[in-house]
Amino acid sequence: MTQSVVLAPITESLPAFISSAQYSKVFVIADSNTRRYCYPLIKPLLPKHKLVTVSSGEKHKVMATCETIWESMTSAELDRHALVINIGGGVIGDMGGFCAAVYKRGIDFIQIPTTLLSQVDASVGGKLGIDFHGFKNHIGVFNIPNSVLIDPFFLKTLSEREIRSGFAEIIKHCLIADGEKWKVISHNDFEEQNWADLIAHSVKIKQNIVDQDPTEKGLRKILNFGHTLGHAVETYFLGKSESERLFHGEAIAVGMIMESYLSFKRGLIDRKTLVDIEEFIFATYGKVLIRPEDVEPIIALTRQDKKNRGSEVRFSLLEGAGKCGYDIAVPVSDMRKAVAYYMG
């Protein structure tokens, strides 16, 4: 089933959605920031509703927060004909969607993504879930929201660091599926990018891939380019101090350099492509300090990757700029070289 994604001012798309169905109750989930910056924009567009606000940040994308949300849904007496509206970034989308998808075996929900990352990636494709015991997205389900309402206007209150983080998924979409667009973005500085155009482009690419393989049996795995080592790096730094913590996209940017190196080592991309990717990513994100003692714990974390088969760690690797393969087993010795390549 193709997911409904509407790219339009929220003042048009939200009333249109609400009037298209009859819901017994409306329940809004926000975090402390989107409660402040985004909820005021949708509040006047909604019928009577209940709002639950949870703490912001990845460390709250856990079971304890879900319990708070389910308690609030229960005390609001939501039945199976209620609607949940998730207004926030990927954390609220993943967790609020998960809460709705399993509450009373599943009720309707829509996503209103408010970060660049969630507009170009997290809100599309129906992956929902939470982190568990430090492992990213360890518990979750596939479930398509009833609609995704994207309005770039929400990005106005987002920090530049958050926009930069979301840009990583745009870079990934270009690298795995559109070599021409990769040329365009890589010839522009971060400040010169056309966000509205890039959001529409990324959504189209992701939707096209997800439509062909909704539950990630094959092709959809290419969306994980940069994410095997990237997720391991993200998880590793999640356990460190707040000042060392990486945003999701920042970790994926690290992973994309490491995994481009693996693509190069296998003869799947030429040296110029590797260098172009590396130079653009370093220019956009700078370099994350990975110390020699970090290498083995990061590699150990790849063993939890959801694409793995038995003890084999499998990667999605570039086959040129704009094309990607998947299910490529990579031995630990090559992963070490990839991390060492990044460290320089």
Contact segment (CB under 6 A) with ligand NAD among 1-9, 57-65, 72-80, 142-150 equals 57-65
Q: Which is nearer to ligand NAD, 90 or 325 (CB)?
A: 90
3-state secondary structure the chain: CCCCEEECCHHHHHHHHHHCCCCCCEEEEEEHHHHHHCHHHHHHHCCCCEEEEECCCHHHCCHHHHHHHHHHHHHCCCCCCCEEEEEECHHHHHHHHHHHHHHHHCCEEEEEECCHHHHHHHCCCCEEEEEECCEEEEEEEECCCCEEEECHHHHHHCCHHHHHHHHHHHHHHHHHHCHHHHHHHHCCCHHHCCHHHHHHHHHHHHHHHHHHCCCCCCHHHHHHCCHHHHHHHHHHHHCCCHHHCCCHHHHHHHHHHHHHHHHHHCCCCCHHHHHHHHHHHHHHHCCCCCCHHHHHHHHHHHHHCCCCECCECEEEEECCCCCEEEEEECCHHHHHHHHHHHHC
Decide if residue 34 touches ligand NAD (CB under 6 A): yes
Decide if residue 302 touches ligand NAD (CB under 6 A): no
C-beta of residue 237 within 8 angstroms of C-beta of residue 261: no
Q: Which is nearer to ligand NAD, 33 or 202 (CB)?
A: 33
Decide if residue 143 touches ligand NAD (CB under 6 A): no
- Work out which of 121, 151, 278, 305 binds ligand NAD, going by CB under 6 A: 121
Decide if residue 109 touches ligand NAD (CB under 6 A): no
Decide if residue 211 touches ligand NAD (CB under 6 A): no
Residue nearest to ligand NAD (CB): 90
Q: Which of 66, 250, 54 is nearest to 140 (CA)?
A: 66
Q: Which is nearer to ligand NAD, 34 or 273 (CB)?
A: 34
Decide if residue 122 touches ligand NAD (CB under 6 A): yes
**Tokens representing residue 127 in the block:** 């992956």
The minimum distance between CB 54 and ligand NAD, in angstroms, equals: 10
Q: Which is nearer to ligand NAD, 160 or 180 (CB)?
A: 160
**Tokens representing residue 71 in the block:** 């308690």
Taking CB under 6 A as the criterion, which residues in 77-96 touch ligand NAD? 88-92, 94
Q: Which is nearer to ligand NAD, 136 or 201 (CB)?
A: 136
Q: Which is nearer to ligand NAD, 97 or 274 (CB)?
A: 97
The minimum distance between CB 190 and ligand NAD, in angstroms, equals: 16
CA-CA distance, 110 to 143, in Å (whole number)?
Answer: 11
Decide if residue 162 touches ligand NAD (CB under 6 A): yes
Decide if residue 33 touches ligand NAD (CB under 6 A): yes
The minimum distance between CB 156 and ligand NAD, in angstroms, equals: 7
The minimum distance between CB 158 and ligand NAD, in angstroms, equals: 4
Lookup result for tokens 């990213």: 136
Binding mask 175-204 toward ligand NAD (x if CB under 6 A, else -) reads: ------------------------------
Q: Which is nearer to ligand NAD, 169 or 269 (CB)?
A: 169
| Residues in touch with ligand NAD (CB under 6 A) | 31, 33-34, 37-38, 56-58, 61, 88-92, 94, 114-115, 117-118, 121-122, 125, 127, 136-137, 154, 157-158, 162, 165, 248
